[in-house]
Amino acid sequence: MPLLVMKFGGTSVADLGRIENAARKVQREVERGYDVIVIVSAMSGKTNELVGWVEGTSKLYDAREYDAVVSSGENVTAGLMALRLQEMGVPARSWQGWQVPINTTSAHSSARFVSIPRENMDAKFAEGFKVAVVAGFQGVSPEGRITTLGRGGSDTTAVAFAAAFGAERCDIYTDVDGVYTTDPRITDKARKLDKIAFEEMLELASLGAKVLQTRSVELAMRYKVRLRVLSSFEDTDENSGTLVCDEDEIMESKVVSGVAYSRDEAKMTLVGVQDRPGIAAAIFGPLAEAGVNVDMIVQNISEMDPNGPTTDMTFSCPTNQVLRARKAIEEAKAAGTISYADLVEDADVAKISVVGIGMRSHAGVAATMFKALAAENVNIKVITTSEIKISVLIDRKYMELAVQALHDTFDLDKVG
């Protein structure tokens, strides 16, 4: 029997009415001949409520008990979904992470998958059950304790099950009807993509697109799991949504597939850093230890100083990590690990990126991008590139203008 994995996010199961709507979509796939594994998130807002309860009880909480509490939201949804399917005449059973079992590492609140044995669930399908409703976001550690996977963990759970069970496809139901060329709230010219390559989706997810969680796309690309993103609130068929797939399934790609942005970026520059072997490690080692997510890095050409050559080192990080970054750098300076003349912060920037696998075989994308921004008098502060991506830092006040200009420049509203 062919198998399908279907994942429903928090807004898709926010109340009993929406759970029933999701259950009808599952029933439709069963009627088409599929066995179905359904992965569910907690009802919208429930995880935040549970986290608040934990923090209100204990500021320095035990991470194991945190996971025990926070994972309960998915358990409730799984049970309600299974009950609704049973009421509709669909043989269904709910599963918590430890019952499958979903074996993970012991890193509470950020656990990683180790294995998902098939025996228990295969036995239930063999008995005649058509749907297994699995609580997403959770697993079980080698010590037998409940673990959670971090925010967005239900997407990753769905992909992991699709890989483990050899599913025909993994459908991610959410509150949007697919992946767009950019955020439709920024420009009404944004166009829904029928297909997008794993690499493009991974770049877009990591650069600020909120449709899919980055870890889930990484896992899908590694195991070649075909993903489909589609809306829970619309009637769907086999051609609905956006298919995230291998590049070989896409006949011909546009040079640029999408424009992504990240609003909450900061730029930090160490001025007058001693230019010597190992200085980059001396700067970014403490930042990594402090949990600062460094993204773009630029080093200027060296200048001669009476005490030896110096350089400026610029990097970007999320705005909510600026204080942590400054503390780590100042402590490294106090310890004598690094020296610099000044630390300059700019917490009013945004990152704009163009992404497309077509960049591999087409020259001039960067020049086109820079000309488009220059035509709008948008100054570029930092530039980084990869094989299929170009990212720039600009003043945040120009973010929407830049996205609209680039979307128009690369004709992303047009098909083909």
Binding residues for substrate: 47, 74
Q: Are strands 382-386 and 389-395 parallel, antiparallel or unpaired?
A: antiparallel
Q: Are strands 146-148 and 138-140 parallel, antiparallel or unpaired?
A: antiparallel
Neighbours of 379 (CB within 10 A): 11
Residue list for the binding site for ATP: 7-10, 174-175, 180, 185, 210-211
Neighbours of 339 (CB within 10 A): 15
How far is residue 155's CA from residue 173's CA, in Å, rounded to a whole number? 10
Length of the chain equals: 416
Alpha-helix residue ranges (DSSP H) falling in 32-152? 46-57, 63-70, 72-87, 119-126
Q: CB-based contacts of 83: which residues, under 8 Å, 6+ apart?
A: none
Judge whether 401 and 394 are in contact, CB under 8 Å: no
Residue list for the binding site: 7-10, 47, 74, 174-175, 180, 185, 210-211
Judge whether 316 and 349 are in contact, CB under 8 Å: yes
> In this structure, what are the phi and psi dihedrals at residue 274, rounded to the nearest 5 degrees?
-60, 125
